[in-house]
Chain A
Amino acid sequence: MPKVEIRSESCKSCGYCVKFCPKQVLAISDKVNSKGYEYAAAVKPEACIGCKMCGVVCPDAAIEVYK
C-alpha cells in the first residue's frame, strides 16, 4: 500500500501538500517541531494512491513517497 513519510523537522506548515493531495490524505497536525511549526501528517494514510504530488509540491523536500 502506498505511503508517505514526512520529515517533521523539515516541515514548515505551508499547507501545499494538504491542498494538492487528491485524496485528502494529509492535514496540518497539532504537533509542533523544534522550530515551532505545526507539521503536516498523514491523517488518512489508507487513502494514499502514491501519486507523489505532495512530494513534488513540497518546498522543503520533507516528503518521501513509497509504493
Chain B
Amino acid sequence: MEKIYARTKGLRPDVVSGFCPGCMHSTVIKLIGEVLEEMNLMDKAVAVLGIGCCGLQMEYISYDNTTAPHGRACAVATGLKRANPNSLVYTYQGDGDFASIGLGESVSAANRGENITVIFINNGIYGMTGGQLAPTTLLGMKASTAPKGRIAEEHGYPMHMCEILNQLTAPYYLERTSCNTPQNTLKTRKAIKKAFQNQLDGKGFSMVEIVTSCPTNWGLDALKSLDYLNEKMLTEYPLGVIRDNG
C-alpha cells in the first residue's frame, strides 16, 4: 500500500491552523505547499502575507515569509523579487488587502509587469475584522458596515479584479478559480502551478483569483456557505482564464 495523498511538507506537521471550519484559506495554503513541494521550490519560496486572515498562516507554513503592511504586499513583493530574483516570491492577499487599501499597489505592480505571483483570495467580505464591506461584496449582501446590504447608489458595485487587471498591457496570466468542488480545487492547484512556472520562466505578472467562502462572516455553516458560493458568488465572479499569454 502506498500513500497517494499526503499532508504537504509546506505545512508544519504538528500544527492545527487558526482558520475557521470550512475556510478555504487553509485549502489554498495547502495547495500552495503541495505545488512548491512538487516543483522543488520550498527552499526558494518567499510568501508575502497580506493583513487579515491571511496572516494566520505565518506559523503554519514551513518556508520563508514576511508580512506586509495592509494592502502593500505587491510593493513589498516587488522589492523582494527585484533585489533577489532567484527566490520565488508570491503575495497572498484578501479582498480588502488587494482591492481596497492596496488597489494602487496591486494595479501598479501588475502594470509594471513585476515578475511575481499574486494569490488573491476573494470571499466578498472582511474576515479578520468581523465582516465589514469589501470591494467584492455582492449587491444585497449584508456586511457589518452595510447593515442593509450593499446598495449600488451608496457603495458602488462589486469589483472584478481579474477583469480590471485585464485592461493593462503587462499582465501575463490571470485566472479565476474556486475550491468549491474537488475538481475545482485541483484546477486551483493547476493554476497556482502555472503561475509559479510563469515566474520561473520570467514571464511577468501572474494572478490566480480564488473565489472562496467565509462561513463565519457570512453567518452560514461551511456547507451552506458552499451553496451561497455556488449560487451567488460564482454568478458574480465567473470562473475561467481571463488572460493567458502562454
Contacts and interface: CB of A to CB of B under 8 A. Distances in A.
A57 interface: yes
Interface string A1-23: 00100010110111110011000
Contacts of B153: none
B24 A59 contact: yes
Contact of B30 (A3, A15, A61, A64): A61
Interface residues of A, number: 29
Interface of A: 3, 7, 9-10, 12-16, 19-20, 35, 37, 50, 52-53, 55-67
17 contacts: A3-B1, A12-B22, A14-B22, A15-B22, A15-B222, A16-B223, A16-B226, A19-B223, A50-B4, A52-B5, A56-B182, A58-B30, A59-B25, A60-B19, A60-B30, A61-B8, A61-B26
A12 B24 CA distance: 12
A3 to B, nearest CB: 8
A11 B24 CA distance: 14
A62 to B, nearest CB: 8
A55 to B, nearest CB: 4
